[in-house]
């Protein structure tokens, strides 16, 4: 069921401009509803059934947004920060002011990050009870061995009161610098880095590839983003 919304609020909410700016646009005849030019900013419209056009481009009313971001290094996983650029600030097309990152990646970590304003979905993905898998690619200083694979599979004690769930460690290339993939089921602070420190190795580069059923679109360069597809969203919500 849709609650009627003032036309100027509708357009402002969808990022067309400020309330005062969109009032000017409306009065200049740049807005159509169901094919008819409307010049009254205070007219009430149905957000579901009304077809709204601005400069002949359709404007669909969205209250919930979902973006896949390929997080670059040097950007912090936060909504605001006094010193560094945040992941939310990268989402230039975001229309809602309440977007936030689902979970966090370290400042120097790259890769998949979901940006949304859907608190329920975020809670489901981050709940410790759900054990949502997260897959990372990493470059490791030191030879990663089969013994490390077994150690990760057994769980690693990181704190006095925390032992990781069994993690999957796949060795892609072993050497003085090793390439690996690792799948973990929690999201503790610096967890992957701390797990390798526990086996006397150092993470040189870290990139998240997937979170649950959401996989990084490799066509996105670091810092680029796009909206989730309907298929991706349904998979993420468990509707597929």
Question: Under 8 Å CB-to-CB from 131, ≥6 apart: which residues?
Answer: 165, 185, 186
- In angstroms, the CA 232 to CA 240 distance is 9
From the candidates 13, 42, 98, 106, give the one annotated as an active-site residue.
106
DSSP string, 34-57: TTEE---TT-EE-TTT--EEETTE
Q: How many CB atoms lie within 10 A of CB 71?
A: 28
Is 8 in the active site? no
Is residue 237 within 8 A of residue 215, CB to CB? The reply is no
Report the alpha-carbon distance of residue 63 to residue 97 in Å, rounded. Answer: 11
Q: Which two tokens mark 167?
A: 């993690």
Rg of the Cα trace of the chain? 23
Catalytic residues: 106
């Amino acid at each position: 069921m849709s609650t009627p919304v003032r036309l100027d609020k509708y357009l402002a909410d969808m990022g067309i401009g400020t309330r005062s700016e969109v009032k000017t646009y409306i009065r200049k005849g740049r807005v159509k509803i169901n094919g008819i030019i409307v010049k009254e900013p205070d007219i009430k419209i149905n957000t579901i059934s009304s077809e709204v056009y601005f400069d002949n481009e359709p404007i669909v009313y969205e209250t919930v947004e979902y973006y896949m971001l390929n997080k670059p290094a040097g950007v912090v996983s936060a909504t605001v920060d006094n010193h560094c650029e945040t992941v939310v600030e990268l989402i230039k097309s975001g229309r809602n002011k309440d977007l936030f990152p689902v979970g966090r990646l370290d400042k120097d970590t790259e890769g998949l990050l979901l940006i949304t304003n859907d608190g329920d979905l975020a809670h489901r993905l981050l709940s410790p009870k759900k054990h949502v898998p997260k897959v990372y690619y990493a470059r490791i200083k030191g030879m990663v061995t089969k013994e490390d694979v077994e150690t990760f599979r057994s769980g690693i004690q990181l704190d006095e009161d925390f032992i990781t769930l069994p993690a999957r460690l796949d060795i892609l290339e072993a050497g003085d610098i090793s390439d690996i993939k690792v799948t973990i089921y929690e999201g503790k602070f610096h967890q992957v880095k701390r797990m390798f420190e526990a086996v006397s190795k150092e993470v040189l580069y870290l990139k998240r590839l997937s979170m649950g059923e959401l996989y990084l679109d490799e066509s996105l360069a670091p810092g680029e983003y796009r909206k989730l597809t309907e298929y991706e969203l349904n998979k993420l919500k468990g509707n597929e």
